[in-house]
Amino acid sequence: MIELSEIRVFLCTIPTRMNYSFDGLMGLAQQIFGQHPLSGHLFLFVNRNRDRLKILFWDHDGLAIFYKRLEAGTFQLPRPTSDRQGVELDERQFSRLLRGLDLRTGRRRKRYRRVA
Provide the pLDDT for residue 112. Answer: 62
Q: How many Å separate Cα 93 from the centre of its chain?
A: 10
User: What percentage of residues in the chain have a pLDDT greater than 90?
Assistant: 45
Burial class (CB in 10 A: 0-12, 13-18, 19+), 33: buried
Please check the confidence at residue 72 and state whether its pLDDT lies above 70: yes
Phi, psi of 10 (to 5 degrees): -115, 130
Provide the pLDDT for residue 3. Answer: 54
Neighbour tally for 87: CB within 10 Å: 19
- pLDDT bin (cut points 50, 70, 90) of residue 12 is very high
Query: What is the C-alpha separation between 69 and 63, in angstroms, rounded?
Result: 20
Please check the confidence at residue 106 and state whether its pLDDT lies above 90: no
Query: What is the C-alpha separation between 64 and 85, in angstroms, rounded?
Result: 23
- pLDDT bin (cut points 50, 70, 90) of residue 101 is confident
Q: Is 84 helix (H, G, I), strand (E, B) or coil?
A: coil
Once rounded to an integer, what is the mean pLDDT over residues 100-105?
72
Please check the confidence at residue 64 and state whether its pLDDT lies above 80: yes
Q: Is 12 helix (H, G, I), strand (E, B) or coil?
A: strand
Q: Domain coordinates of the chain in residue numbers?
A: 4-71+84-99
Q: Please report which helix (H) or strand (E) contains residue 10, including its range.
A: strand 9-12
- pLDDT bin (cut points 50, 70, 90) of residue 1 is very low
More reliable by pLDDT, 81 or 49: 49
Residues of the chain by 3-state class (helix, strand, coil), percent to 5: 25, 25, 50
Provide the pLDDT for residue 42. Answer: 96
Provide the pLDDT for residue 29. Answer: 93
